Structure 1
Amino acid sequence: MDKQAAQTRRGINKTYAMQLATIFLGFIVFGISENIKGPAIPRIQFDFHLEEQQLGTLLSLNALGYLIACSFTAYLTRLLGIKAVSLLAFGAMFVSGFFIFFSHSYPAFASSYFFMYIGNGMLEIGLAILGARIFVRNTGTMMNLSHFFYGLSSTVAPLLASGLLSVSIFGYMMDWRGMYLLMLSLSVLPMIPAIFSSFPGDDLPHGERIPLKQLMRDPALWLIVLVLSFGVVSELAVGGWLVNFLEKAYAWESVAASGMLSAFFLCFSAARLVLGPLTDKIGFTLSLILLSGFSALCTFAAIWGGESMAFLFAAAGIGIAPIYPTVMAFIAKRYPKGSDTAITFTVTLMGIGSVIGNYAIGAITNSIKNLYGTGTDIGLLRGLQAGYGFIGLCALVCSLTGCVLYKYLKSRKALI
């Protein structure tokens, strides 16, 4: 009997190890695919002759692809299981690398990039659902730990991308297209443990799941949607706009600007590794308020302080990093039998916020630049400052919305 129990435990441990490998490698690939765009965007903009507003529109369209993927991934998960959805997501990102490599016109590139974000959206939902099902104890710590791997790969990704842009392989100069092909090919790696793993929760009877209509009657869910939307806009926008800001506002070299982006993600990943236990200790809601507020202060101080305070752009990563995994932990705790539905609903609406946010940054930058004088150095500087200031504003609104959520939950003695 003891021998049989030991074999059962070994089987469980092996399955859990495969699940963790899928999640951790999945977040590594996700971080790479999201954040190699920093060094590539100025070159993409040059090759296709894009203005800042057109660039903002491109990033918004990509967020729209992410949003579309979020809208159908939960259905696919119920239909095919989370294992198949994860494999489809990784496969979509792998194939999109080839599409990007062979795109030599703007419509072809925009379509390929859009397709990559569909894969990203599928993966984001899949990993969030899997984490909510597996991490039933120390939820905040484990959610932040898994998302630490996103931060880790995001730290390395801009430097790798910047280095690969000037590398020659077999006589071919590795431009941004070749860099995307090589980096997205890494999507094959997490497919290996996913193939050999089994995943929990797909057999949960539909009668035990909380329906969406019931979830939507909970004001806390709508507040957490706002917290996540503003927090994620502030987080993801850094990858797309920081390098562009430093190169154009302060005339930094590409390597130096990419280094600052990597420093942001170094702070970002360290915060997820270290602050996870803190969110479990002081509570998820209070953590959201304090951390997003800290990120807002760092961002505003970095803009107002000028080039000498640019290091605060990196420090802002400490505050914004735990927002997403802490929200996922909040959902897993508040809606244990409806986490799939709640996550899909929350992340889908978050995607709408991302579409609006990226467009707003580009539009604000362009409008203020034109107000001060198109083609002038001061116009470009003020436009970039105003656009990046919107990123800090999103972090501030995230904190203020967290205060409203805290008050609502405390009044009902339901603080998490």
Structure 2
Amino acid sequence: MILNAAAENVRGIFIPMFKSDFSVNDTEIGLMLTVSSMGYLIFTYIGGILCEKIGQKKVFISGFIAIIISLSGLWATKSYIILLSCMFIMNIGLALISIAINTIIPVLFISFQAVLMNLTHFCYGLGSTVVQRLSGVLLFNGVAWRTIYLGEAILFLLVLLFFLPIKIPNTHKSKANNGEQTKNSHLLKNKLVYFYMLGLGFYVFAEMGTASWFVNFIEKTYAYDKSRSSFYLALFFGLLTVGRLIGGFIAEKVGYLKLVLISLSAAALLFAIGISIGESGLVIISISGLFFAVTFPTVVVTISKVFKDHGAYATGIIVTASSTFNMVLNMVMGYLNDTIGVYNSFYLIPLGLAVSFFFIFAIYKNVSSTTR
């Protein structure tokens, strides 16, 4: 998860250099980001199927190979087309590793699943924070972006070599091949699948929407400079990362979905209050990050508990759908910024949290107390 974050989130720092080295404009950079997102979406879905067909270990290995190939290609490329291709391949690998991680934890660990899932996502936040700072320092000291990508490729190769002898049970594979189990197609007839898609989708939009639009909201509304506005975003994600470090332990005590419902309601309330009271509320919005923390990893853990026979496939389609919701709602957010104003449209984020709460509550009421 640390390396996944390093490979994925260093891209934003390199964008000015991509524009210079490949002589491209913002539209072509936007195309690169779209291609990356499509690779991730498609192979999150495919990865869920592959986990059941061939097992998580082979999915992990495929993801590692895809990322090593893409990072090596980025190190060597002089072409914008190759850049696009490598970004697509990288996101194939990122998706495969992420779906394998999200589906193997409920298989390997009988207890403390929420703790372990939240800790893995904490590692993602840690990796993102470290790599952005480290890359900035390296670039400042004259290290080329291509060299940084080569270094990441070597790290992925080393981790792959350590990973190869590890034994991982093909639990999902054995279940999927059992003729007595319900077919994957029947899963789409279950209303809980759609509750999960909507509940997780609106949450993912709220988190990623904050990442994408919070600085813009601050600068447009209060005329802050980059240094001041980025502080509040850094505080938000810093508290979110801390929340994931401790949130899993609380979930084990309180109950998985119960804690998610408490956290979502607190996050939505703080976010809405922070917007409504004006400039002094910016720190309240940032503090809400602490209550964002547990939702995604904890809800993902419950998917394999609810859909016991086809947890990997269910996780794949639910996470894919939630990512799609995020893409669409961020487009809506951009449109609303232009039509009703940045301040008013920012209320869409606490509204998204409220909608997420509604569908997570519907799941809570429709599953057993053990799953809760």
TM-score, normalised to structure 1, is 0.74
Tell me which moved more, 306-315 or 100-109: 100-109
Tell me which moved more, 395-404 or 309-318: 309-318
Name the CA distance, whole Å, in 2 between partners of 1:347 and 1:253: 32
Name the CA distance, whole Å, in 1 between partners of 2:72 and 2:276: 42
CA contact (8 A) 1:55 1:362 kept: no
Counterpart for residue 331 of structure 2: 359
The alpha-carbon deviation at position 271 of structure 1 amounts to: 0.9
Written as runs of structure 1 = structure 2, the 5 A alignment for 1:278-289 is 278-289=250-261
Whether 1:69 and 2:27 are equivalent positions in the alignment is: no
Counterpart for residue 399 of structure 1: 357
Change (3 A) 1:399 1:281: same
CA contact (8 A) 1:232 1:324 kept: yes
The alpha-carbon deviation at position 49 of structure 1 amounts to: 3.4
The alpha-carbon deviation at position 267 of structure 1 amounts to: 1.2
Counterpart for residue 270 of structure 1: 242
Cα deviation code 1:172-223 (max 9, x no counterpart): xx45x65555456543343233112010125625116542233333322221
CA contact (8 A) 2:271 2:285 kept: yes
Name the CA distance, whole Å, in 1 between partners of 2:106 and 2:153: 26
Name the CA distance, whole Å, in 2 between partners of 1:38 and 1:312: 26
- Match for residue 163 of structure 2 among 179, 188, 194: 194
Cα deviation code 1:369-409 (max 9, x no counterpart): xx7xxxxxxxxxx44x4665444432232122223333444
The alpha-carbon deviation at position 356 of structure 1 amounts to: 1.8
Q: Secondary structure at the match of 2:225?
A: coil
The alpha-carbon deviation at position 260 of structure 1 amounts to: 4.5
Name the CA distance, whole Å, in 2 between partners of 1:188 and 1:405: 40
Change (3 A) 1:304 1:358: same
Q: Secondary structure at the match of 2:288?
A: helix
Whether 1:141 and 2:141 are equivalent positions in the alignment is: no
Q: Secondary structure at the match of 1:319?
A: helix
Unaligned runs of 5+ in 2: none
The alpha-carbon deviation at position 44 of structure 1 amounts to: 6.1
Written as runs of structure 1 = structure 2, the 5 A alignment for 1:191-340 is 191-202=160-171, 204-205=174-175, 206-207=177-178, 209-242=181-214, 250-253=223-226, 260-340=232-312
The alpha-carbon deviation at position 57 of structure 1 amounts to: 6.6
Residue type at the aligned position of 2:38: L
- Match for residue 129 of structure 1 among 103, 109, 112: 103
- Match for residue 26 of structure 2 among 32, 44, 50: 50
Q: What RMSD over aligned residues (CA atoms) do the two structures have, in Å?
A: 3.4
CA contact (8 A) 2:215 2:230 kept: yes
TM-score, normalised to structure 2, is 0.82
Q: Once the two structures are aligned, what percentage of the paired residues are identical?
A: 26
Counterpart for residue 341 of structure 1: 313
Name the CA distance, whole Å, in 1 between partners of 2:79 and 2:333: 25
Tell me which moved more, 243-252 or 183-192: 243-252
CA contact (8 A) 1:148 1:270 kept: yes
Change (3 A) 1:227 1:81: same
Q: Secondary structure at the match of 1:310?
A: helix
Name the CA distance, whole Å, in 1 between partners of 2:349 and 2:84: 24
Name the CA distance, whole Å, in 1 between partners of 2:80 and 2:63: 24
CA contact (8 A) 1:159 1:259 kept: no
CA contact (8 A) 1:299 1:316 kept: yes
Q: Secondary structure at the match of 2:26?
A: coil
Name the CA distance, whole Å, in 2 between partners of 1:243 and 1:95: 34
CA contact (8 A) 1:294 1:319 kept: yes
Name the CA distance, whole Å, in 1 between partners of 2:82 and 2:349: 29
Whether 1:113 and 2:83 are equivalent positions in the alignment is: no
Change (3 A) 1:31 1:395: farther
The alpha-carbon deviation at position 279 of structure 1 amounts to: 1.7
The alpha-carbon deviation at position 30 of structure 1 amounts to: 2.2
Change (3 A) 1:89 1:141: same
CA contact (8 A) 2:57 2:168 kept: yes
Unaligned runs of 5+ in 1: 1-26, 372-381
Name the CA distance, whole Å, in 2 between partners of 1:247 and 1:180: 32
Q: Secondary structure at the match of 1:204?
A: helix
Change (3 A) 1:135 1:218: same
Change (3 A) 1:307 1:33: farther
Change (3 A) 1:308 1:126: same
CA contact (8 A) 1:92 1:116 kept: yes
Counterpart for residue 96 of structure 1: 70
The alpha-carbon deviation at position 87 of structure 1 amounts to: 1.9
Change (3 A) 1:223 1:96: same
CA contact (8 A) 2:117 2:298 kept: yes
CA contact (8 A) 1:59 1:358 kept: no
The alpha-carbon deviation at position 143 of structure 1 amounts to: 1.9
Cα deviation code 1:52-81 (max 9, x no counterpart): xx8777544432211110222234334443
Name the CA distance, whole Å, in 2 between partners of 1:220 and 1:325: 18
Q: Secondary structure at the match of 2:174?
A: coil
Tell me which moved more, 84-93 or 387-396: 387-396
Alignment size in residue pairs:
366
Residue type at the aligned position of 1:151: G
The alpha-carbon deviation at position 360 of structure 1 amounts to: 3.1
Name the CA distance, whole Å, in 2 between partners of 1:106 and 1:393: 39
